[in-house]
Amino acid sequence: MIYNFEDLKEIVKSKVSIKRFNHIMAVVDMSIKLAKIYNADIEKCKIAALLHDICKEMNKEEMKKICKNNFSEDLTDEDLENDEILHPFVGAYWVEKNLKIEDIEILNAIKNHTLGNKNMTLVEKIVYIADAVEITRNYPGVEEIRNLVFKDLNEGILFEAGKKEKYLESIGKKSHKNSYAMQKSIREEIKKKN
Ligand SMILES: [Fe+2]
Ligand SMILES: [Fe+2]
């Protein structure tokens, strides 16, 4: 791959707060660790993790505009009001346009890092879950998810998504359709293996 990690790191650093940058580097570390455990492409995991939150601090109206024009299949009008949901899509779009990142697996890993999606590759799964369990995360239950992720990636992701779903239910909300699609496709994958 031709992407230079150190050059990209400087670009990311210039676009986010120091707190966010520290989180991003913790996701990079966790992604490398998981890539080693699960024999994934370490370089791809590193680059995708480094870029995953690059647009998190972008102006909300700009994010909405990009998503409306490019991701209307994935996002409802309600989604368009939620920057937590928008920033992964915007990130994938932005790095393709501005950093000339063409690797589809890296782009999808950025795009799906919050909601997940069906048929995720190993790289996509690693970035998705590394974001949730990187070492500075300290929400209740994170330790349990992290330990499971080290033992079984698919089960760890299902456990994390299930916990998120329960939390959303407790505040009267539902998981996004892409998250359900991810869980369904991972369950099918597990079934096929057994
Ligand atoms: Fe994010
Ligand atoms: Fe993140």
Domain ranges of the chain: 5-140
Per-residue pLDDT at 121 exceeds 70:
yes
Ligand nearest to the CA of 132: 2
Read off the pLDDT of residues 58-96 as tens digits, 9 standing for 90 and up.
Answer: 999 999 999 999 999 999 999 999 989 999 999 999 999
Q: What is the pLDDT of residue 1?
A: 60
Q: Classify 5-140 by CATH class.
A: mainly alpha
Percent of the chain with pLDDT over 90: 96
Residue 192 CA to residue 97 CA, distance in Å, equals 37
User: Ligand 2 center to residue 63 CA distance, Å?
Assistant: 16
CB 65 within 8 A of CB 124: no
User: Ligand 2 center to residue 7 CA distance, Å?
Assistant: 20
User: Ligand 2 center to residue 193 CA distance, Å?
Assistant: 30
Per-residue pLDDT at 135 exceeds 70:
yes
User: Ligand 2 center to residue 194 CA distance, Å?
Assistant: 32
Ligand nearest to the CA of 112: 1
Per-residue pLDDT at 2 exceeds 80:
no
Protein residues near ligand 1, an ion, with CB under 5 A: 53
Q: Is the dihedral of CA 38, 42, 48, 51 positive or negative?
A: positive
The pLDDT mean for the chain works out to 96
Q: Is the dihedral of CA 151, 153, 159, 160 positive or negative?
A: positive
pLDDT (mean) for 47-59 = 98
Q: What is the pLDDT of residue 85?
A: 96
Structure-token pair, residue 32: 């490398």
Per-residue pLDDT at 3 exceeds 90:
no
Percent of the chain with pLDDT over 70: 99
Please report the DSSP string for the chain in residue order. Answer: ----HHHHHHHHHHHS-HHHHHHHHHHHHHHHHHHHHTT--HHHHHHHHHHTTTTTTS-HHHHHHHHHHH-TTT--TTGGG-HHHHHHHHHHHHHHHHS----HHHHHHHHTTTT--TT--HHHHHHHHHHHH-TT--STTHHHHHHHHHH-HHHHHHHHHHHHHHHHHHTT----HHHHHHHHHHHHHHHHH-
pLDDT (mean) for 149-162 = 98
pLDDT (mean) for 118-141 = 97
User: Ligand 1 center to residue 94 CA distance, Å?
Assistant: 14
User: Ligand 2 center to residue 159 CA distance, Å?
Assistant: 18
Read off the pLDDT of residues 7-31 as tens digits, 9 standing for 90 and up.
Answer: 999 999 999 999 999 999 999 999 9
Per-residue pLDDT at 48 exceeds 70:
yes
Per-residue pLDDT at 51 exceeds 70:
yes
pLDDT (mean) for 95-112 = 97
